[in-house]
Structure 1
Amino acid sequence: MTVIITGANSGIGYEAAKKLSEKGAQVILAVRNAEKGKLAIDSIRKENQEASVEIMSLDLADLASVSNFSAAYTKKYRSLDILVNNAGVMIPPYGKTKDGFELQFGSNHLGHFALTGLLLPLLKKTSGSRVVTLSSIAHRGASINFDNLDGSNGYKAMKFYGQSKLANLLFARELDNRFKQNGIETISVACHPGISNTNLFNLGKGETPKYLKGLMKLFSQPAAMGALPTIYAAVDDSLTGGEYIGPDGKGNRKGFPAIEIPAQGVFNKEIMTKLWVVSEELTGVRYEF
């Protein structure tokens, strides 16, 4: 079984890579920082010398890098069992990707949209394959402002983070719908880690302030627990596509993985279709079903 996990050098992605490699999967850590990726691999192999893990360079904030990664992977591998769209940036100061997209929407959604589309031929020909895309409880109350996707008409970091995570959730469901409409066996599943204590929680300013670390322990769970919904979404045989997996505790903030009902009315067909069309236009990646 071959698995790609974006942003697998730390946090949820690292924990998922460690667990899936323990189960015998060949895991590709698709990372921006090769040095951090190497440290992650050394750490995984320290616990499991037999782990089949490797790093490949991927910067989701650069469509050329996404294209290069896809080409390199396709040249080396003939199949892809699981693609985990995990990497993300959370509430940074206003910034843009190499291609001029707002950093969170560009990295969290558009980069993964392009990556999935470019790897689609391999996914389609791999029996039992699936795509897992990470969303967040931040999708609740979020909306997609198609008139200000680049943040040029005003930027609020948390609002734009919620927008990107809503986009992840809508993409995951729309992708599964299109798989089914076209008779493709591949499935698409969304998940979220609840509130997990990972390096995403640096508030875009470096290290988490000490006063927040104490609060985090009350409301969050370790990354190893936060990774369970990802692992469940990636390997559970009972899933048929279109599900949303999250922790089963209060407010879905922590706990063990279970199928979760997203915020009411979130799967608006018109918005899902518009997001898909806009994403194809912005990335230049057209899905060939």
Structure 2
Amino acid sequence: MGTTWTAHDIPDQHGRVAVVTGANTGLGFATADALAARGATVVLAVRDVDKGTRAAARMTGDVTVQRLDLTSLDSVRDAAAALREAHPRIDLLVNNAGVMYTPRQTTRDGFELQFGTNHLGHFALTGLLLDRLLPVPGSRVVTVSSVGHRIRAAIHFDDLQWERSYSRVGAYGQSKLANLMFTYELQRRLAARGASTVAVAAHPGVADTELVRNSPTALRAPVELLAPLVTQPPAMGALPTLRAATDPAVLGGQYYGPGGRGEVRGNPRLVTSSPQSYDLAAQRRLWAVSEELTGVTSPV
């Protein structure tokens, strides 16, 4: 492989089963499409089955659709049960789906929407599917974070659900920081078990996707105006995830993002996350709280 990693560097994926959340549009679609084109059996885990079916029809290869609503733990459990029944082995789980800068809302289980969807839903799904990955040599859990994990971000253990006050940007930052802490803690647990499964994180830089539709009004106009200069298309934004998912040189606990200035655009490379994301005590505390909130206990 050259020094500039592209979709052409994705190894043959025949024989691998990949589950990609939020795969009917944007980054998820680009990720699933590339994996399917290289021969993977791909499951689009999406909230809207009709949209997922239309997305699958635009892909080549073995692609199926599974309903998954990350805002409902019942839906997460139902989806995991269906996936377990259909696939005795899973090689790759890509935790990609997410919401960004939403107004104050809660999930069906009463969690703040961004934290509940971006972190807790994926935490539960991973825990429920992990025993399908553990026996598979080289299996991976790839969780998509964001440069937003650095912006007004902290894990507010005293008010995880933002009940006292609410910041769209702060809540998003918390959820994306949680994605990284989850990845690092999961990798530590996998390594302690001696598992060949690894946990890896990625971020797309600033990609031109539908996520910006919930941006505060004051931010939306400048973002749309500057988009051609500061964003990259979903196919490029998906490359860090694809590298984390397929590059044979990837190691557990690594984090991939665009290689350009400020990690905004460019081909994927190994990057580092914020200092607080590496806080071991906070990672462990978040894991314990997540188990308590979701009722899902991981096999690791």
Contact 2:23 2:52 in 1 (8 A): yes
The answer to whether residue 239 in structure 2 is matched with residue 228 in structure 1 is yes
Is 1:139 equivalent to 2:149 in the alignment? yes
How far is 1:234 from its partner? 0.3
Q: 1:213 offset after TM fit, Å?
A: 2.1
The answer on 1:247 being equivalent to 2:258 is yes
Task: Say yes or no: does 1:15 pair with 2:15.
Answer: no
- Aligned partners of 1:193 and 1:226 also within 8 Å: yes
Check the 8 A contact 2:99/2:211 in 1, yes or no.
yes
| Distance in 2 of aligned mates of 1:114 and 1:202 | 27
Q: Deviations over 1:48-87 (max 9, x none)?
A: 3xx1101100000100000000101111111000000000
Report sequence identity in percent. Answer: 46
C-alpha distance in 2, partners of 1:205/1:165? 18
The answer on 1:160 being equivalent to 2:171 is yes
TM-score normalised to the size of structure 2? 0.92
Q: Secondary structure at 1:272's aligned position in 2?
A: helix
The one-letter amino acid of 2:53's match is: K
1:1-289 paired onto structure 2 within 5 Å: 1-44=16-59, 48=60, 51-141=61-151, 142-203=153-214, 212-289=223-300
Counterparts of 2:277 and 2:207 in 1: how far apart (Å)?
Answer: 23
Mapped partners of 1:221, 1:12: distance in 2: 11
After TM superposition, the score normalised by the length of structure 1 is 0.95
Cα distance in structure 1, aligned partners of 2:220 and 2:273: 31
Counterparts of 2:84 and 2:55, CA distance in 1: 23
2:277 is paired with a residue whose SS is coil
More moved, 258-267 vs 2-11 = 258-267
After TM superposition, give the deviation of residue 7 of structure 1 in Å. Answer: 0.2
Q: How many residues align?
A: 283
Q: Aligned in 2, Cα 1:209/1:138: closer, same or farther, shift over 3 Å?
A: closer
Q: Confirm or deny: 8 A CA contact 1:93 1:204 kept in the other structure.
A: no
In structure 1, runs of 5+ residues without a counterpart are none
1:126: how far off? Answer: 1.4
Distance in structure 2 (CA, Å) of the matches to 1:81 and 1:2: 5
Q: Is the Cα contact below 8 Å between 1:9 and 1:31 reproduced in 2?
A: yes
The whole-number CA distance in structure 1 between the counterparts of 2:223 and 2:274 is 27
Deviation of 1:204 (Å): 5.2
Structure 1 CA distance for aligned equivalents of residues 128 and 138 of structure 2: 18
Equivalent-residue separation in structure 1 for 2:222 and 2:292 (angstroms)? 44
Deviating runs (4+, > 6 A) in structure 1? none
- 1:225 match: secondary structure: helix
1:43 offset after TM fit, Å? 1.6
Report if aligned partners of 2:115, 2:172 keep a CA contact under 8 Å in 1: yes
Indicate the larger mover: 124-133 or 78-87: 124-133
Q: Structure 1 CA distance, aligned partners of 2:227 and 2:285?
A: 36
- Aligned partners of 1:76 and 1:221: how far apart in 2? 35
Q: What is the CA-CA distance between 1:214 and the residue it aligns to?
A: 2.6
CA contact (8 A) 1:123 1:129 kept: yes
Contact 1:91 1:158 in 2 (8 A): yes
Q: Which amino acid aligns with 2:122?
A: H
Query: Cα RMSD over matched residues?
Result: 1.4
Cα distance in 2 between the residues matched to 1:180 and 1:22 = 31
